[in-house]
Amino acid sequence: MKKTILLLIIITIFAAPSAVSAKIKSYSYKIINTYPHDSTAFTQGLEFFNGFLYESTGLYDKSSLKKINLNTGEILKIKKLPGNHFGEGITILNDKIYQLTWKAKTAYVYDLNFNLLKEFSYKGEGWGLTNDSQHLIMSNGSNKIYYRNPDNFSVLRTIEVAAYGEKISNINELEYINGEIFANIWFEDYILRINPESGEINSMINLSGIINPDNYLHEINVLNGIAYDEDTGRLFVTGKLWPHIFEIKIVE
């Protein structure tokens, strides 16, 4: 029921015949390249940094942090989390890797060689994580996004994701791209583009049909994972247990 209500809100908002709604665009995609992806990886976070892909995977007793060769899918480095910790979003800021956990209320900080530098505690759940070159930006499955201090993980400010006053929850994996927050929505096949100051939705990218459902290995096969190559402008997306990572171009 919640999923249906959320989808109806989105459809209603983007179809609303008003001067304001005319400014909000709905985009589609074009697949530019397809890369291999470990179909046993329960993707929670995705990051592209210095020519390599970094991935955080979830599930108890299976959670990990990985460094991956994008072109071949080869795992170059892996660090497993404690069995009782469920890995979530990651981001890289100032040559440090930050990784959330779902319910353990713990954020790990590593160097680029996966050596643990420190741990932070926080309240609630951890879902998605990105950064704007100064702050960590975190979701927790609600409609709220938190800006945090990368030095001590304290909350600096909070925004609420909404469109025309309607709160949009289940904000999941995040990526900060050219002044916008791109966000997966749990169990939906679109990406929201969010104003990082107001939380207002600027537009959405409909990724339905990007992968053949026959390739799914599990009922939880949702789109999840956004990574951006700042040097080339390449945008990558994948999903939980998907066999592919897609480089896409956003089109109207």
What confidence tens digit (pLDDT) does each residue in 95-125 have?
A: 999 999 999 999 999 999 999 999 999 999 9
Residue 87, domain member (yes or no):
yes
Residue 137, domain member (yes or no):
yes
Residue 3, domain member (yes or no):
no
Residue 81, domain member (yes or no):
yes
What is the percentage of the chain residues whose pLDDT exceeds 70?
Answer: 88
Q: What is the CATH number of the domain that holds 153?
A: 2.120.10.30
* Number of separate domains in the chain: 1
Residue 5, domain member (yes or no):
no
Residue 12, domain member (yes or no):
no
Q: What is the pLDDT of residues 117-162, one digit of tens each?
A: 999 999 999 999 999 999 999 999 999 999 999 999 999 999 999 9
Residue 14, domain member (yes or no):
no
The 3 state secondary structure assigned to the chain is CHHHHHHHHHHHHHHCCCCCHHHCEEEEEEEEEEEECCCCCCEEEEEEECCEEEEEECCCCCCEEEEECCCCCCEEEEEECCCCCCEEEEEEECCEEEEEECCCCEEEEECCCCCEEEEEECCCCCCCEEECCCCEEEECCCCEEEEECCCCCCEEEEEECEECCEECCCEEEEEEECCEEEEEECCCCEEEEECCCCCEEEEEEECCCCCCHHHCCCCCCCEEEEEEECCCCEEEEEECCCCEEEEEEEEC
Q: What range defines the domain where residue 222 resides?
A: 26-251
Whole-prediction pTM: 0.89
Residue 54, domain member (yes or no):
yes
